[in-house]
Chains A and B, each alone.
Chain A
Amino acid sequence: MNATGNTSAAVRLRVNGVVRELRLDNRTTLLDALREALRLTGTKKGCDHGQCGACTVLVDGRRVYSCLLLAVALPDSDVTTVEGAVRDGRLRILQRAFLDHDALQCGYCTPGQLCSALGLLIELAAEGGDGTAPAGAVRERMSGNLCRCGAYTHIVAAVTAASKTIAEGTP
């Protein structure tokens, strides 16, 4: 990193509906900005290299690996993290389904799995269809979210069940 010139920048993000003004070291990833600058430690770091999915959040409604994005490059973005459930009823339903299906063990991958599942449901809705997530689609399209505890079968069941609940419109 060059020691001369501006090594930090101001950035405005909307995180879980709240506008946050930050001054950040240019090297700061969105993940570190969330965790360290905003103290939103619900989003986890498993690799810092875009290889595990623990850091998955939604930026402008799309799921992303927050460890791969520089925060200063995302001015005025809308970010949803696992802490944003209060704003998004669908995330609430997913959380409930994870508990009902014991879709977690250590819980470290869980915030990323939940945000990824929410992103997947948004994608499926945008693609048309009835809004439900078939098991095969969940397996294929959530493969960017590793779970070392091996809760996959339960996660798939939870996401499928939650998608039905959401599609039926019964909270």
Chain B
Amino acid sequence: MTGGQERVDGWDKVTGRARYAGDHAVGRAVTAVPVRSTVARGRIVRVDDGEALRQAGVLAVITPDNAPRLAEVHDAELMLFQNHRIAYRGQFVAAVVATSRQAATAAARLVRVAYEQSCHEVRLSADHHRLYEPEHLNEGRPAGTSSGDFAGAFDAAPVRVDETYRTPAVCNNPLETHATCASWDNGRLTLIDSTQGPNTVQNVLAALFRLRTDHVRVICEHVGGAFGAKGAPRANTVLAAMAALVVGRPVTCSFTRRDMFAVAGHRSPTIQRVRLGAHPDGRLIALAHDAVAHTSTLRRFAEQTAAAARHMYAAPHRATSHRLAALDVPSPSWMRAPGYCPGMFALESAMDELAVRTGVDPVDLRLRNDTSVHPETGQLFSSRNLAACLRSGARLFAWAGRNPAPRSGRRGHWLVGTGVAASTYTADVAPSDAAVSVSVDGRYSVSIAAVDVGTGARTMLRSVAARELGVPASAVEIRIGDSCLPRAVVAGGSMGTSSWSWAVIAACRDLRRRVRERGGVVPVTGLTARARTDAEVAALADRARFSFGAQFAEVRVDADTMEIRVPRLLGVFAVGKVLAPALARSQFVGAMTMGLSMALCEEAVTDPCSGDYAQHELATYHIATHADVQDVQASWIEEEEHHLGPSGAKGLGEIGIVGTAAAIANAVYHATGVRVRDLPVRPASLLRAHRCAEPSPHDRGDRGNAAEQP
């Protein structure tokens, strides 16, 4: 139950009144539908738009030969129809604008594109000839780090784990596909867009179309999920704006579900080698994490897969590295907890393997390797409560007394097992602005270009402002989702809450001071206070800033079919101050559910022949549904955080997906004795391993320490 904290926009959402980008376009815009490349690498030789143009309702066909010229921006995925090069299958190569979506879709099939095709490479491997070490990772992180003498210490370590883990490409697939409605008026562009960052879209679109920033307005009232996929503009936004320019009327463009797999971004597949060298009591001596991922030929996206290994556990000798291969694939992009999510699958699986090899309880093992300073840099943590999460989780989950032997938990037809993994994510903050006004009749209004992508940002900001102003929440109106409002950081990177609430709190405090200065009297014209947090954010103390958590999973595996069920998932997190408990719980539970989905269902595999994903719809790309999800519980510990702004809150939208897959895979090992290092965990992998391990199909059960099968 929500404990009385109902979402501000909840009633609009349950009655269908909440309007998303695609809803705004209805009745006012014509439609642009893209034509997609059918080759994965090559050149466009010719586009024949004759037949398409003859269809009723068709207004224009945009091709590389007639498209308006765009100014160059950093993300080459946005340079639509600016040249004839094909970088991946599914890339937009032309578009039809028509008076109805039916007409545009039908005409798009009639646009004939001739290609000159080259050989493509779409499959990542650990020895791919295109692999290189990027100059740096996203957000300027170093590609490699090392301290001590890893190689020497690892070789000499009494207990060693040296394993390779793989995660597949996965797609964000928010339920609302990306949608935009664009209109031009006197050289000014207005976009109703499904985005996490109206200011980001505003800046990028202004650059592309050579406009003054304040001549672009981006509105995103409600967004139907994003998970990183809407963190920066995508082709739909550019196409809508371009098409509206061409036909001189408002144009809408929405991705189809199929488009989501190609042009909306995805989490890169990874191949990760983790090496752990330890004392017999489990204390780490040496730790190395080497990650391989892909990017596209259009854009270098260098994800921080091994970043968590840099701060999770103490070890005197350590190293991390990243290598990338630029393949003929769509550009990967952010997906919930980029880097940390796939990286912690590998690291936390390896920690479980170390627990098995040393015989140390997996919770204890993590406690023994906890650290009070950043093990690479020596920095203090702004706050670090991994140990408290592990202890609290172990208590709530009733972990104590667990028999560590694999296959020791058989109950009737089910092989039952439990597993644990740690969670972590960055806890950042970025400068934002905010304005707070009070009217003479005591109504407050908070303005900030923040976005609610389902996190409950509106509700959270309202309760923060009401608390700060000392008024009931019902007296506060929240205005977000519009680039015209005071500038704000994107709703991503788990920094929305800390960053926005800082600016809002500062503005509220300033407003109260002003009202006090006037003897508590608000003038008839009202009063407004504005805040800008750049200076304060820049002046933050030097600390390592992360959130932490621990996740526990129980799995049941059918002894015959190896079907995997997850009857119980529990997460305990340390995320600073929790500002809105009901919303926080939904975020944690939702992210853990997505983690369960990652563990058991999701993968997008590139077909080496066509260069396309074998999965590009929800019938073949499975995501967890009602029947897959049973008891998912989340809680948190009280944590004091003094180095992240006045709210004391760390972001919490992403950490819930970090560690879930490892906890489940570790529980599967405990249940079956089969170590799966290759996501998703499939019944087929378990069956294969069991067939290898078992001399007779009838000899099941009391196998005890069944052999590990890779």
Contact = CB atoms under 8 A, between A and B. Distances in A.
B23 interface: yes
Nearest to B14: A95
Given A49-B257, A138-B626, A146-B618, A102 B15 contact: no
B586 A151 contact: yes
A25 B105 CA distance: 13
A72 interface: no
Contacts of B213: none
A49 B6 CA distance: 33
B237 interface: no
A150 B174 CA distance: 11
Nearest to A109: B175
A127 interface: no
A140 B627 CA distance: 5
B227 A148 contact: yes
Given A35-B26, A102-B7, A107-B454, A149 B225 contact: yes
Interface string A38-71: 0111111111110110100000000000000000
B63 interface: no
B618 A51 contact: yes
B81 to A, nearest CB: 25
Contacts of A25: 100, 102
Nearest to A84: B16
A101 B625 CA distance: 18
Contacts of A3: 55-56
Contacts, number: 193
Contact of B453 (A41, A99, A102, A106): A106
B2 A151 contact: no
Interface stretch (B278-286, B313-321, B591-599, B644-652): B591-599
Interface residues of A, number: 59
B583 A102 contact: yes
Contacts of A85: 15
Given A100-B2, A140-B626, A152-B626, A114 B175 contact: no
B229 to A, nearest CB: 10
A42 B594 CA distance: 25
B14 A148 contact: no
B585 A102 contact: yes
Nearest to B619: A51
A47 B621 CA distance: 12
Nearest to B173: A148
B157 interface: no
Nearest to A141: B626
B177 interface: yes
A95 B174 contact: no
Contact of B2 (A40, A99, A148, A152): A99
Contact of B177 (A46, A107, A149): A46
A106 B175 contact: yes
A37 B224 CA distance: 22
Given A51-B617, A100-B1, A146-B623, A107 B9 contact: yes
Interface string A128-143: 0000000000111011
Given A106-B453, A148-B175, A151-B590, A81 B26 contact: no
Interface in B221-244: 222-227
Given A54-B175, A106-B224, A108-B176, A149 B16 contact: no
B101 interface: yes
A123 interface: no
B456 to A, nearest CB: 7
A99 B626 CA distance: 18
Nearest to A139: B626
B593 A32 contact: no
A48 B223 CA distance: 18
Contacts of B632: 150, 152-153
Given A108-B20, A139-B627, A95 B15 contact: yes
A104 interface: yes
Contact of A107 (B55, B102, B222): B222
Nearest to A140: B627
A39 B225 contact: no
B11 A99 contact: yes
A26 to B, nearest CB: 9
B626 A142 contact: yes
Contact of B1 (A101, A140, A145, A151): A101
B139 interface: no
A150 B455 CA distance: 12
A32 B15 CA distance: 19
A156 B607 CA distance: 37
Nearest to B257: A47
A151 B592 CA distance: 10
Interface string B520-546: 000000000000000000000000000
Enumerate the 8 nearest inter-chain pairs by beta-carbon distance, A residue then B residue, closest first.
A42-B16, A108-B224, A150-B593, A106-B454, A107-B13, A150-B590, A105-B454, A41-B23
27 contacts: A1-B106, A27-B102, A35-B23, A39-B27, A41-B22, A42-B17, A47-B618, A48-B257, A81-B16, A82-B14, A83-B16, A102-B6, A105-B590, A106-B175, A106-B224, A108-B176, A108-B454, A140-B626, A143-B626, A145-B625, A146-B175, A148-B225, A150-B590, A150-B597, A150-B629, A152-B624, A153-B630
Interface of B: 1-2, 6-7, 9-20, 22-23, 26-27, 55-56, 100-102, 106, 173-177, 222-227, 256-257, 453-456, 582-583, 585-587, 589-594, 597, 617-619, 623-627, 629-632
Given A49-B257, A106-B175, 19 more contacts: A36-B101, A41-B16, A41-B26, A42-B16, A43-B16, A47-B257, A49-B619, A82-B14, A82-B16, A102-B586, A107-B222, A108-B175, A108-B225, A143-B626, A147-B625, A148-B594, A152-B593, A153-B629, A155-B626
